[in-house]
Every structure is written in C-alpha cells, then in structure tokens.
Structure 1
C-alpha cells in the first residue's frame, strides 16, 4: 500500500518535472530563437533530440527502476534536468544547446510518467493502478503552472535567468522523489497470478506487440496534435482566436476524463478502459472534418481527442499490470516504450510534410486511419484478456 503523503509528493514531482523539462520548449522556444537568431526548426530540433535520447535509454531506465527502485532514478533525473537547464542558460552555439537537450532527454525519461509508473508498480504491484491515475491529475496542471511562471521569470531576468531558476527548482524537487517507498511489492502466497485479468502465456508476445503499437501511434498523434492542432483548425477555416480557445479544450477534456476515471473507482478493467479511450480518437478526427463549417464539430474534435489522450496516459501505465508479470514491469515496459519516443520525435516534421504535400484533408485522413488501426489493436488486446484462474 502506498501512503497518501508519498503519493502526493510523487504527483507534485510530476507537475514540477513536466513543467520544467517537457513544456520548457513551448514556453521559451520563441524567446530562445529570437535571442540566438536561429530558426524555430533549429530551436525545436533540440526537443526532438531529447525525445530520441528518451527512446535510446528507455530500456536501461526501466531495468534500473526494476532493480533499484524509483528513488535513485528520479533523483538522477532531476540532477540531469538541473544540469540541462544550466547548460541551456550558457548556450551561445549549437553544440552547447543540443548538449543541454541531451541532458534534458535523460531528465525526462527518468522523471516523467513512465518512470513514475514503473516506480509505483515496483512498490505497489497490482494495487498501483489507482495511484497511477491519481498522479496524472497533478501532472496535467504542469503547463498551466509553469508557462505563466516561466513567462514571469523571463520578464524579470530574461530567458537565461529563467533557466537558472528552473535548474534551482529541479534541485529543490529532489526531496519529493525521496518520499517514494523503498520496498518492492511481494504478492501474497495465496494470491492468484493475475489481478483479475491475465494474458495467456502463448499470447504474451502478441499482447506486447499490440501494446507497443498502441503506444507508438499514441505518441505520434500526441506529438503531431501538440504541434499542429491550432494550425490545423485555422487551415480548416476556424478563426485564429477561436482556434486557440478551442485548442485549450484539449486540456479540459484530458483532465475531466482522468478525473472521471478516478471517481469511478476503476470500474472498467484496464483493457476495457483502453478500448474506450482509443474509441474516442476516431470520433474526434471524424468530427474534425466538419470543423470549418460547424463550431460544434471543432469543439468536439478538441475535447474528444483530449479525453481519449488523457485516458491513454493512464492505461499506458495500468495495462502492463494486467498483461504481464508486474515484477518485470520496469524492464519490459522500458523496451516497449522505446519506439514511441523515436516516432514522437519525428511526428511534428512528418505531419508538416504531409500537410505541405497533400493538404490538411490528407493529414486528417492519416490521423483517422491511424486511430482506426489503434482501435483494432485495442479490440484484439481486450479480446485476449480473460478472467484469471487460480
């Protein structure tokens, strides 16, 4: 059982880590480009490099958490993040700038949800499902807190001074990670091997491939929508101020869906919840086609996409608890996550190339087809999950 205080500390640590590292480029990208005289592509390329680092070290980080627990890994991540922010503050050439982002890539893989989920699985076993959902509530507020904070710090000290402040906050967050329990979950001798659902051993490889496929497509769509949702809406005919407001509904849908899952007490099994979450995505992209003609369609697009993506954040952590042996959570999930980081790194550029070559309609069709592929994979995955037998 994971206590309330460690759980609150871990959730607060997620808010801080997402705000400091992942959302850094969104808050400071324009300022960095203007100061250094670089193109936005070069500046944002640092973030893509960080995602590549996340994919490269993902299996290693998973093994380290499995062997040593979450404490040392999350602490190391905060130290790497502090170093990355400090190096960014000193960056005047491309080599130093990208070196900083390599450190930030290490920080993100060691501190964000996937590392926290693995730490919770190691400490709580099957009981980690509810805590995984709970920490996403605080983590979801990261951009809401840190974009205004970063703007205020940049107004006071410039973006370089803000980076040094971010480094100090990263160091100050270390005690939050130290609140994690040290122990490893031990299943009672009389307990069933599963947690209510289990994948037959003969299908474990198929389940792993389906899980990895869902994660990879989710990562592609999330990165593409993060970079292009507002331009996509404007290209469809929605006025820019309206598109910005509608784009914000993505976060509302994400938070409300996560809250609904927590308040429901986990009535749906992770495979069933995953199927529901994935089913929202084709509906959202189908609605997007009408965005230029009906404002309600644009609202439905942003809200449904946010809701589906918000639930998928939870199921990426909870599905392995019922599909695989929880004792191997860290190393197995670390390997399965790796492709999603590489694809996410390339997604904004690939999506932009599709729009440039074939137009917004083709980009939406691509999203819809990928979402339908995810839906098929989620349906097969759920069909494989049967009640566990003693």
Structure 2
C-alpha cells in the first residue's frame, strides 16, 4: 500500500536529488570552469557523460528494482550521489572531474523519477499512477529552491563549501530512501488500470507489448531530446528570436510555473483520464507552443505563452512517462521493461545539447524552432498510434 507518508518522503528525496544532481551543472558549471581554468566545453562534457552513464545502467537499475524493490537501489544511489558531490568539491584533476560525473550519472539513474516510478509501480501496481504525479510536484520545485540556495552558499562560502553542502543534502536522502518498505508489497496484478470515465486496461498480449513498447521508446526519446535541448538553450533560443537580455531570462523562468500548474492539475484530476489521451493532449500542446514561439520576437505575450505552454506540456509528459507503461506491461516487470526502453532516450539526450548548439550557430533560432516543431509533431503522431494500439480490441478466439 502506498501511504501519504511514503509519497512525502519519496517526494522530498526527489526534490533534493534533482536539485543537487541534475541541476548542479546549471548552477555551478561556469564557476567550475573558472576555478579549474577549463573550457565550458569540457565542463559540460562531464554532464553529458553522466547522461550516457544513466543510459548504460538503466536496464540493470530497472531489473534490480523489479527483483528487490526500490529501498536498497535508491539508498545506493544516495551513496553515489554523496560521493559524486564530494569528488567534485575536492577533486583538482580532469580525471577526478569526470569520475565525479560518472558517480553522479549512476546516482541520478538510481534516484530520479524513473527509479521512483518503478519503485511505486512495484509497491502499488496500477494504483501507483496518482502517487507518481504527486512526487513530481516536489521535483518540479528543485531548480526553484536549489539554484538560488546554491548561489547563496557559493557567494558566502565559496564553491567547495557549496558542493560539500550539496553532498550534505544528498546524505539526507539516504534515510528517506531507507524508509521505503523493506519487502515489496505485492500489488493485485489482476486489478486493471481504470477510472469511472475510462475503460479498464490489463497488461497487453506479448506481441502487442512489443509494438507498444517500441512506440513508448520513440515517444520518450523524442521528449528527452526536446527537453535536453530546451533545458540547455531556452534562454539563447528566446534571445535568438528577438528578446533582449533580461527579457529572455525572465520569460524563460515562466517555464517552471507552467510545469508546476500542469502537474498539480494532473494530480487533482488526472485519475479521470486515460494516460494515453493525456500524452496525446500534452504532445499537441507542445506542438502548438513551438508554433506560437515563432512570434516571440514581436510579442512578449507570445513569448510568455510559448514558455508557459512548453512548461505545462513537459510537466505532464514527465508524469505519463511513468504511467503509460502501467497500461502496457505487468507491474511486476515494470522496472526491467521501462529501464531498457529508456536507454535510447538517455543517449540521445546526452547528444542533444551539443547538436542543438551547433544548429543554433549554423542555422539560427528560427530553424531550431522549426526542428523542435517537427520533433513535437512526431511525438504527437507516435502518441496517437500508441493510443490506437493500446485500445485495440483483442482478436476473437
């Protein structure tokens, strides 16, 4: 059974893990380059390495959670998280820098949403859907809290102390993860995922699982590419479209409000909707957001609608990343199946920031926005095909 206390503890752990691992580079990337005298290309290569490592360990992580539950796996992730931050703080060589990001890559795969979703699915089965949305509310505040907090600690005490403080925050997640159930509570796998307004869904036949799993992998890979590109270049994209300095920064910050609002709405009302329909709706909103983005250079209102809409779509798609597999696979095999299917997305997201940086330089902001439109439209089409397959009636015996 998934209790409120469990959701709160896991949610706080998500808040800390996202804020002090995934968003660390956004806060301290430039400072690390200044302290060590390295180029920012080298600095961000470390983060790309961590994303590749996340992909490499993804199948194993999912398999371990299926076999043992999330308690030991996520607690181990906390230890890697502490080690990565400490190595960043005290390491002085290029080798130690990349070792730190290797440790953080393992830590992120063992502690962030995908591990938490698999843990909840293992405990609650189809009933975990609402809990998945609830913990993303905590994670959505990570950059809002830890970017200014990290900046303050750095300004007051220096970069080394700031990174060690991040290790201290990571230590807090250790008892939170150890508080997860010692033994996995076996859900009722015969209970379908259903609501008063949607049909019931049971694990699909094997052949259908293969096709739907492939479509899920395509959708998540496209979303990962879009999210990685926008996380790295959103401010630069807005500036390239015509916004000036502080305007681009302030408008880009609205993304978080859209993200939080959509996740709250999904938590309150999402149980009444089929996750595949929610994915289609979010993909449509994502496509429309990029179309509106073309007017950002001539209207601040258009730029604001673009960023808020993008944030809202991305916020919901983060949740359906965890809930869609509950409509396809038996929850007992959730971790292994999803861990393998997410592998291409991790690899592509590691390449996306560099590729889009080259596109921004060589083709310009409007062309990049056009590429993002094509990727989001492809996501919409794949989502529609997935919905058709999931709701397809089984052949008559």
- Give the TM-score range, shorter chain: over 0.9
SS at match of 2:38: coil
Q: Is there any run of 5+ residues in structure 2 with no aligned partner, and where?
A: 195-199
Q: Which residue of 1 aligns with 2:254?
A: 249
Q: Which residue of 1 aligns with 2:353?
A: 348
Q: Which residue of 1 aligns with 2:272?
A: 267
CA contact (8 A) 1:2 1:181 kept: no
TM-score computed with the length of structure 2 as normaliser: 0.95
Q: Which residue of 2 aligns with 1:13?
A: 13
The separation in 1 between residues aligned to 2:188 and 2:145, in whole angstroms, is 41
The Cα shift of 1:173 comes to 1.9
The separation in 2 between residues aligned to 1:71 and 1:237, in whole angstroms, is 48
Choose from 358, 364, 379 the match for 1:359: 364
CA contact (8 A) 1:208 1:336 kept: yes
CA contact (8 A) 1:214 1:374 kept: yes
The separation in 1 between residues aligned to 2:45 and 2:326, in whole angstroms, is 35
Choose from 374, 381, 397 the match for 1:376: 381
Instruction: After TM superposition, list the pairs within 5 Å mapping 1:1-390 onto structure 2.
Output: 1-188=1-188, 191-192=190-191, 195=194, 196-198=200-202, 199-386=204-391
The separation in 1 between residues aligned to 2:160 and 2:188, in whole angstroms, is 52
SS at match of 1:290: coil
The Cα shift of 1:386 comes to 2.3
The separation in 2 between residues aligned to 1:231 and 1:204, in whole angstroms, is 40
CA offsets 1:208-237 (integer angstroms, 9 cap, x no match): 111000110100000100111111111111
Q: Is there any run of 5+ residues in structure 1 with no aligned partner, and where?
A: none
The separation in 2 between residues aligned to 1:187 and 1:115, in whole angstroms, is 18
CA contact (8 A) 1:236 1:292 kept: yes
Aligned length in residues = 388
The Cα shift of 1:179 comes to 2.1
The separation in 1 between residues aligned to 2:386 and 2:151, in whole angstroms, is 44
TM-score computed with the length of structure 1 as normaliser: 0.96
294 and 194 in structure 1: CA distance in 2 versus 1, 3 angstrom threshold:
closer
The Cα shift of 1:245 comes to 1.2
SS at match of 1:173: helix
CA contact (8 A) 2:122 2:186 kept: no
187 and 120 in structure 1: CA distance in 2 versus 1, 3 angstrom threshold:
closer
The Cα shift of 1:172 comes to 2.3
